[in-house]
Structure formats: C-alpha cells, structure tokens
A and B are shown apart, each in its own frame.
Chain A
C-alpha cells in the first residue's frame, strides 16, 4: 500500500512535469504537428519512470553518500528509460544529439519534481525544528 501510494505520488508529479516541459517546448518551438497520441504517451512514460522512482526510493538511504549514489543510479536509469521510450514513440531519433537532449530534459523534469518535493519537505522540517527548539528550551 505504501509502495502504491509512493508510486501514485511520483506518477502525478512526473506526469505533470513532463506535460509542462512538452507544453513549454512545443510553445517555444512553434511546432504544430503534435500527435494525438502524445497525452497517452506522456501517461505511459510517467507510469514507467514513476515505477522506477518508487522502487529506488523504497530503499532506505543510510548516509549522504548512499543517497548521492542512489540518486546518480536513479538519474542514469531514467535517462536510459526515457531515451528508449522516446525512440519507441518517435519523439527522438537514435542520434547522439537527440539522446543528449533527452538527458537534459530528464534533468529538467528531475529538478522540477524534486524541487517541489524539497519545498514541501522544508515546511515539514521547519515545523519539526520549531517543536525541537521548544523541547530543547524546556529541558
């Protein structure tokens, strides 16, 4: 149940971020030939990447070093998956420049998703710090 909840959270966040990115790129480039399959393809890529993310984050990170290592593995896995999905759906060609561009796109989505998560967690951390300070003052 916990895993499913985590998957759903990541699915929502990643799909929103991919949609925002695709929207921004389409708007900036002025490309009008958007495929009618795009919404379904975004949902599909969101589901696959959310599944990978939920699996990676189901592990406990014991230390900062472990966290950095898992984050690097996660990013590489997402790049491989998104490039495979991109080639399969015809979003990109199997060319070096396209693959590199997809890696940049993955990084952008990564920053959006985990940036939002960080802001939400900051609120929770502030709340805990207030309680911690009060407790330390008392003792």
Chain B
C-alpha cells in the first residue's frame, strides 16, 4: 500500500483519503483504528470535564465498578465500561492485560518477570502493572512474537 503525506495549507483541516476498489476487512480495521486512535475520550475529574487523547492515556483500570483513565500523573474517570473501551480501542495500541486493566502498549518501557510466574509491565512513568498469564498470548500477538 502506498502512503502519501502532503503538507497542509494554513488553516486547512487534516484529512485522510483512502483510494481503494474494495473495502476489505483489513482496510476496515485500519479505518477503525485511525478513528479510535485519534478520537478523544470524555473524562471527568471532580468538577472538571475534559477530552483525553488516547496517546495520553497510560492505562484504563476498573475499580469498584468505576473505570479510570490513568495518565502520566493524573487519574480521570470515564463513563465507558472496560469491555466497551476494549472494543473501541481494539485495533490500536491498547490491550487488555488483566480482568481489570487495559494498557497502552506504547507506554510500556519494559516487561519484567515476577517471582510467581507472572509478568509485570513497567510503564514510562515508572508505574508497574501486573500482566495476567491468560492475557500474555494476546500481548505476544500484539508485539508480533
């Protein structure tokens, strides 16, 4: 597939044009991931309502029926359920790593083994999150291992 990036004239809106004879599943996935990867998520913090870019989110965590979007130094509540977020960000950098967590793979700086047969992801803000064994195959698939 040929990718052409053209400079924009000032004030013009960014656009992506796909030229194809058929919209196959691969192309649909690409379109879907482009849309999900760029669309901002509404988040809440006390009285504040703001839009979060997916690239700013380190991970989503479900705690006591509330779902939080955790960024580098701040935590926001989001209204979507974890399974909904998993579906929205299916073809992006986000991946489920435990029953209660979806992590942004691009924020993982390294993966370290724990003493109990589990893996732990060290994020770029030095936070550590536990990867459940059952989600390791998905992570491997995502990383192309």
Mark out the residues of chain B between 100 and 145 whose CB falls within 8 Å of any chain A CB in the assembled complex.
100-101, 105-106, 108, 110-120, 128, 130, 132, 134, 136, 139-140, 143-145
Q: Would you call B119 and A60 a contact (CB within 8 A)? A: no
Known: A64-B128, A67-B130. Is A132-B110 also a contact (CB below 8 A)?
yes
Please, which residue of chain B has its CB at the minimum distance from the CB of A71? B116
Q: State the A residues within 8 Å of B (CB).
A: 2, 57, 60-64, 67, 71, 114, 117-118, 120-122, 124-125, 127-129, 131-132, 135-136, 139
CB of B83, distance to nearest CB on chain A (Å) = 16
B-side residues, CB < 8 A to A, are: 98-101, 105-106, 108, 110-120, 128, 130, 132, 134, 136, 139-140, 143-145
Contact call B143/A132, Cβ cutoff below 8 A? yes
* CA gap between A127 and B100 in the complex, in Å: 25
Enumerate chain A residues within 8 angstroms of B112, measured Cβ to Cβ: 125
**Which of B114, B118, B145 is most buried by chain A, counting CB atoms within 10 A of its CB?**
B114
Contact B119 A124 (CB under 8 A): yes
A2 to B137, CA, bound (A): 14
Q: Are B140 and A128 in contact (CB under 8 A)?
A: yes
| Nearest Cβ on chain A to B9's Cβ, whole angstroms | 27
Residue ID in chain A nearest B140 by CB atoms? A128
**13 more A-B residue pairs beyond the given contacts A62-B98, A114-B116, A131-B140, with a C-beta to C-beta distance below 8 A:** A60-B98, A60-B100, A64-B130, A67-B116, A114-B115, A118-B114, A120-B117, A125-B113, A125-B119, A129-B111, A131-B144, A135-B105, A135-B144
Check A131 against B143 for contact (C-beta < 8 Å).
yes
Q: Is the CB of A61 within 8 A of B130?
A: yes
A-B contact pairs, 8 of them (CB 8 A): A62-B98, A62-B101, A67-B116, A114-B115, A128-B139, A128-B145, A131-B143, A139-B106
Q: A121 and B134: CB pair below 8 A? A: no
Contact A121 B110 (CB under 8 A): no
CB of A14 to closest CB in B, whole Å: 13
Beta-carbon contact of A67 and B114 below 8 Å: yes
Instruction: Return B139 CB to nearest CB of chain A, in Å.
Output: 7
Contacts of A121 in B (CB 8 A): 113-114, 117-119
Question: Could you say which of A61, A114, A132, A135 contacts B111, with CB atoms under 8 Å apart?
Answer: A132
